[in-house]
Amino acid sequence: MLNIEAYRTRLNEIVACSKDLIQTDEINEFNKYVLEKLNNLEPSLMVYGTYNAGKSSLINAIFGEDEKAKTSDIPETDKVTGYTYKGFTIYDTPGINAPIEHELVTHAHLNKTEAVLFVISNDGSFEEEYIYQRISDIVKMNKPLILVLNNKSGIDLDSEQAFQESQKLNTNLLKIGDRNGIKNIETKVKFAVVNTKTALKGKLENKKLLIERSKISVLEDMIEQQLKDSDIGVVVNALNIYIDKYINKLISIIDSKLTGKNITDLELKVLQDMITSLEIMKNSNEIKINNLLESKLMSNREVLFDLLNRGYDSNEFLKTLRNELEHDLTASLKNVQLQIKERTQQLTQEQKEIEIKLKRETLLSSSSNNATTIEINDSNESIQIPPIPPIPGIPPVAIVIVNAVITVANLFFKNNAENNKVEKQAEAERTRVLGIQRTVAEVFSKIKSNSIEATEKALNDLFDILIENYKKDSVIFQGQKKYLIDKKDKLHELIINQQKI
């Protein structure tokens, strides 16, 4: 259950940190949106894409109204307009290649929305690379995405030309996915082809054949299903992204204020950027690993339920699942270690570029003996990355306990069924199934909590000492900048605490 009060407390702290950094109007807008979202956790869908691809026409076709959304061949407004659709809200937004002030509005709303309807057309514009880069950005944000090809040219959807267009789309998705490190991007994007002009005509004239040919009904079913499938977890994910983006903006503003013209100020900026990078890296990897864990567990819940429902022994299944989780988590943490090494190498290069010639002994003269091991001279040595600690899995005793619970539960359900063969047979079966479901939930809750605890400890071991040492070094350069750095530390703390609500 979402802890609304904890979110409100964090919101007040973020607003307090925003003062002296950004305009009051922007602070008020942020505060208002988060409060409104906490009061209404229904998901929303944003219509996105290039202008003139048919975004507004698609909205008109969905609602069956000629002027529901204003259409134009040129971008006219930076306004975001919401429409109520079957209890949800669909937002029409400016195009991605509209004037910059329009795009800024669109990007800001993208941070808020839970799901995206991305519209392109087959009139020659859907091959542009920037389109697929934007699609890639949305996938990276873990937002549900439906890619809609507006069949403006009116080609036969069963023709070879239609097949070739679909192949081009898939090829372009795979290319941008490979380039940006997104595996199986094609499985993360739903796809639909619609003729918005035919769909609107069919609805306005009540011609079922036109509606059927336009394929608008297929898209409407996809939209409705996506909104229904977007549970509170999807809504909270979007809200967290919006809050994190806002906090990171504040951090960036602070970083810009810390930038100076002399060597000391430049070194301070380098260190502060490194701290920010590591903290963001830690936060983002924690989210990725937790998402991986959640996906792994979700895909195995039904398997465990089926085993228990059939009365099979689940011990071997749970052991296999534990081993797979340990393997996946260890692989993820090894990747994190590589990221840290690459970032420290970048730091060394940055230091050389600003020609810092101060010796290590000078830097340490006013610092503790535990300062970071980064080299400030021209040597090739870099920070010492601690080895990945062993990742504790589910304690064997937990599996024994789990199976003991399962065994007792199955005996109870079996006896209960035998004693109520006649008048209470249906009720007994429901009780048995509910009991199995509770057992499965308890088992996976235990697995999840143990795995999250192990992951958090491993990430803390990898990051916390490094971050703390960099912070100690940065104290040397703080001086009058202490107020900003303290505020920045508070913002990082808020990011970390946000993930634990």
What would the DSSP string read from start to end of 20-78? TTS-HHHHHHHHHHHHHHHH----EEEEEE-TTSSHHHHHHHHHT-TTSS---SS----
Which helix (H) or strand (E) segment holds residue 97: the answer is none
pLDDT at 18: 92
pLDDT at 118 > cutoff 90: yes
- The per-residue pLDDT for range 360-385, each reduced to its tens digit, is 333 333 333 333 332 323 333 333 33
Tokens 């990898």 belong to 462
Instruction: Specify which of 115-124, 344-353, 379-388 reaches the highest per-range mean pLDDT.
Output: 115-124
Q: How far apart are CA 186 and CA 169, in angstroms?
A: 10
pTM of the model: 0.52
pLDDT at 374: 27
Q: What is the mean pLDDT of residues 219-241?
A: 85
- The per-residue pLDDT for range 15-69, each reduced to its tens digit, is 999 988 889 999 999 999 999 888 888 888 999 988 788 888 899 999 999 878 7
pLDDT at 400: 35
> Helices H, strands E: what count in the chain?
16, 6
Q: Which of 207-211, 290-294, 352-356 has the lowest mean pLDDT?
A: 352-356
Sequence-separated (6 or more) residues with CB below 8 Å from residue 71: 56, 57, 60
pLDDT at 206: 92
pLDDT at 96: 80
- The per-residue pLDDT for range 162-196, each reduced to its tens digit, is 888 888 888 989 999 999 999 889 899 999 999 99
CA 213 from centre of chain = 36
Instruction: Specify which of 131-135, 444-448, 480-484 reaches the highest per-range mean pLDDT.
Output: 131-135
pLDDT at 129: 85
Say how many CA atoms lie within 13 Å of 487 toward its Cβ. Answer: 22
Q: What is the mean pLDDT of residues 409-421?
A: 48
Provide the mean pLDDT of the chain: 78
pLDDT at 361: 35
Among 3.40.50.720, 3.40.50.300, 3.30.420.10, 1.10.10.10, what is the CATH number of 44-229?
3.40.50.300
Domain residue spans of the chain:
44-229, 261-498
pLDDT at 107 > cutoff 90: no
Q: What is the mean pLDDT of residues 485-498?
A: 82
